[in-house]
């Protein structure tokens, strides 16, 4: 460890009112020296150390300002990929990255990268980031604190006088949420080199029949090409990737624990199903003559719940978040139905059993009801991801050094980290959120908790940058 990291660590202690320690009696020296392999020198002067703190007020203002770039009224936030609001929000992020002195680049789908060059820029950088797109009528913290918080972590490091060895990079991922094109973690999946997705996007349209490429061009991306392989990153492009995120569950708040150190991310899958019947007049067609696509969908939705509960594990979940009937008139028997099913588990095999049961059930419902199963498409069936031990250790020692309580936990929600884990060692930092609420307007995280997450992120980035 050199003077820079030493100064940074001391600064953190001073800012949080912890005892001022010297290079000689600091109990964290050994851990950090062991970790980084760098010798500890004398600390920086008090003046530069005192300047360090998370700018909580500024960060809260940014979170609030970003939340106004929404397609639905406050307190809800809706920010859909490549929409006008999304373009404005991207501009907001790029501007902040610029103000933090990061060099900004964007790839063909609009993943945004802000880099702070380290002393040894030829080494694989350490990266951190998350997303700012927001599902319909959601809140203002999901993803956002992992982008704004990452930029603030860079500011914290800069204000401390820290100089990275490995470059540090903030990433804002394109479309973590599947809202517009039905594909979750679109940007990070591509970064991780998904050839299937690069092909699929050539024929992907949204619900308004706008193609992915037209939508991307509206936002200023994918200008002259349909080839998205330029987005792919090599394995080893980063020495580490870390994502800061609200827990989206109640554990940290209930236990009054400051930080969740994520050890694994549950395996998500999503399925699209279409049934077709003959429709007809709601009064005139007698019950024995019907083949109602709406009832087929209703039966399948209940079957999803049954199969999930049959797994016997609290970790298996399933949701029918979209159920559409055509033509959607009270006096018309639905002739078409469309369902989108989300199912997840920390146990991939158990989740796959549920998927197979859903498939068999769709086939038998179609036969029994005389409706056509016109589509049964598994959109994604992803494996879980494990965090990297060295990164979780770095996070845990950062928590200890910052005197913050922490616990290990799994992430039931998916994140861009699930895909970054394919090309880089990965870790995630969770902070508490009110009652675990997420994906609804009531989502809330206290700025003190966010600031704690930023501190842990900053210190972990510092350690990993010097590793
Ligand atoms: C991410 O938004 C998820 O649905 O887990
Ligand atoms: Mn989300
Ligand atoms: Mn998220």
Q: Where are the domains of the chain?
A: 53-181+233-266+384-466, 268-381
Query: Which residues line ion ligand 3, judged by CB < 5 Å?
Result: 142-143
Q: Is the pLDDT of residue 20 over 50?
A: no
Contact 217, 109 (CB under 8 A): no
Among residues 406, 451, 453, 397, the alpha carbon closest in space to that of 26 is found at 397
Residues 409-436 as b or e (16 or more Cβ within 10 Å = b): bbbbbbbbbbbbbbbbbbbbbbbbbbeb
Q: Is the pLDDT of residue 12 over 80?
A: no
Residues 175-206 as b or e (16 or more Cβ within 10 Å = b): bbbbbbbbbbbbbbbbbbbbeebbeebeebeb
Q: Please, which residues bridge with residue 272 across strands? A: 340, 377
pLDDT digits (tens, 9 = 90+) for 385-441: 999 999 999 999 999 999 999 999 999 999 999 999 999 999 999 999 999 999 999
Q: Please, which residues bridge with residue 116 across strands? A: 168
CA distance 166 to 239: 9
- Residue partners of 72: CB distance under 8 A and separation at least 6: 78, 136, 137
CA distance 261 to 387: 9
Indicate if ligand 1 lies below 6 Å from the C-beta of 80.
no
Residue with tokens 């998370």: 54
Ligand that comes closest to the CA of residue 185: 1
Fold (CATH) for 53-181+233-266+384-466: Aminopeptidase (3.40.630)
What 3-state class would DSSP assign to 233? coil
Residues 296, 300, 302: CA angle, nearest 5 degrees: 120
Indicate if ligand 1 lies below 6 Å from the C-beta of 414.
yes
CA distance 199 to 227: 8
The whole model's pTM is what?
0.89
Average pLDDT of 265-284? Answer: 98
The protein residue whose alpha carbon is closest to atom 2 in ligand 1 is 177
CA of 192 to the centre of ligand 3 (A): 18
CA distance 266 to 382: 9
CA distance 408 to 64: 30
pLDDT digits (tens, 9 = 90+) for 308-367: 999 999 999 999 999 999 999 999 999 999 999 999 999 999 999 999 999 999 999 999
Q: Is the pLDDT of residue 241 over 50?
A: yes
E strands, 277-405, in order? 280-281, 317-326, 332-333, 336-345, 372-381, 385-386
- Residue partners of 96: CB distance under 8 A and separation at least 6: 62, 148, 151
CA of 390 to the centre of ligand 1 (A): 26
Q: For domain 268-381, say whether CATH 3.30.70.360 is its number.
A: yes
Count the alpha carbons within 13 Å of 50 in the hemisphere toward its beta carbon.
3
53-181+233-266+384-466 and 268-381, same CATH topology: no
Indicate if ligand 1 lies below 6 Å from the C-beta of 413.
yes
> Which of 247, 414, 428 for a ligand 1 pocket mutation test, highest count of atoms within 8 Å of Cβ?
414
Strand pairing class (267-276; 336-345): antiparallel
Indicate if ligand 1 lies below 6 Å from the C-beta of 116.
no
pLDDT mean across residues, the chain: 91
Q: Is the pLDDT of residue 52 over 90?
A: no
């Amino acid at each position: 460890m050199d003077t820079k990291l030493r100064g940074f660590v001391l600064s953190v202690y001073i800012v949080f009112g912890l005892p001022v320690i010297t290079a000689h009696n600091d109990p964290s020296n050994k851990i950090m020296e062991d970790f980084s392999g760098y010798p500890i020198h004398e600390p920086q002067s008090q003046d530069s150390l005192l300047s360090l703190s998370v700018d909580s007020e500024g960060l809260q203002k940014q979170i609030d300002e970003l939340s106004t770039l929404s397609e639905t009224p406050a307190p809800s936030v809706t920010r859909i990929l490549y929409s006008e609001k999304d373009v404005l929000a991207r501009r907001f992020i790029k501007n902040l990255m610029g103000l933090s002195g990061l060099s900004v680049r964007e790839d063909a789908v609009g993943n945004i990268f802000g880099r702070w060059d380290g002393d040894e820029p030829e080494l694989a950088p350490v990266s951190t980031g998350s997303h700012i797109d927001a599902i319909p009528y959601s809140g203002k913290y999901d993803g956002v604190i992992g982008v704004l918080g990452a930029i603030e972590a860079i500011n914290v490091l800069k204000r401390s006088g820290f100089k990275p060895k490995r470059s540090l990079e903030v990433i804002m991922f394109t479309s973590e949420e599947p809202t517009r094109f039905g594909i979750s973690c679109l940007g990070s999946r591509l970064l991780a080199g998904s050839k299937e997705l690069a092909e699929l996007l050539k024929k992907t349209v949204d619900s308004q029949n706008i193609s992915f490429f037209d939508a991307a061009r509206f936002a200023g991306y994918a200008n002259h090409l349909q080839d998205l392989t330029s987005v792919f990153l090599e394995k080893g492009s980063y020495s580490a990737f870390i994502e800061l995120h609200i827990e989206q569950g109640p554990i940290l708040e209930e236990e009054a624990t400051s930080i969740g150190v994520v050890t694994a991310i549950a395996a998500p899958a999503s399925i699209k199903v279409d049934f077709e019947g003959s429709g007809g007049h709601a009064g005139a067609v007698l019950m024995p003559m019907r083949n109602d696509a709406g009832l087929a969908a209703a039966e399948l939705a209940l079957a999803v719940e049954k199969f999930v509960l049959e797994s016997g594990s609290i970790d298996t979940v399933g949701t029918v978040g979209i159920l559409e009937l055509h033509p959607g008139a009270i006096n018309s028997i639905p002739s078409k139905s469309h369902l989108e099913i989300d199912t997840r588990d920390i146990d991939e095999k158990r989740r796959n059993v549920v998927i197979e049961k859903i498939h068999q059930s769709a086939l038998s419902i179609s036969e029994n009801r005389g409706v056509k199963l016109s589509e049964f498409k598994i959109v994604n069936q992803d494996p879980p991801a494990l965090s990297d031990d060295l990164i979780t250790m770095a996070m845990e020692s950062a928590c200890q050094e910052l005197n913050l309580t922490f616990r290990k936990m799994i992430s039931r929600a998916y994140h861009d980290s699930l895909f970054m884990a394919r090309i880089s060692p990965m870790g995630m930092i969770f902070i508490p959120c009110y009652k675990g609420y997420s994906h609804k307007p009531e989502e809330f995280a206290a700025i003190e908790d966010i600031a704690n997450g930023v501190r842990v992120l900053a210190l972990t980035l510092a350690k990993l940058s010097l590793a």
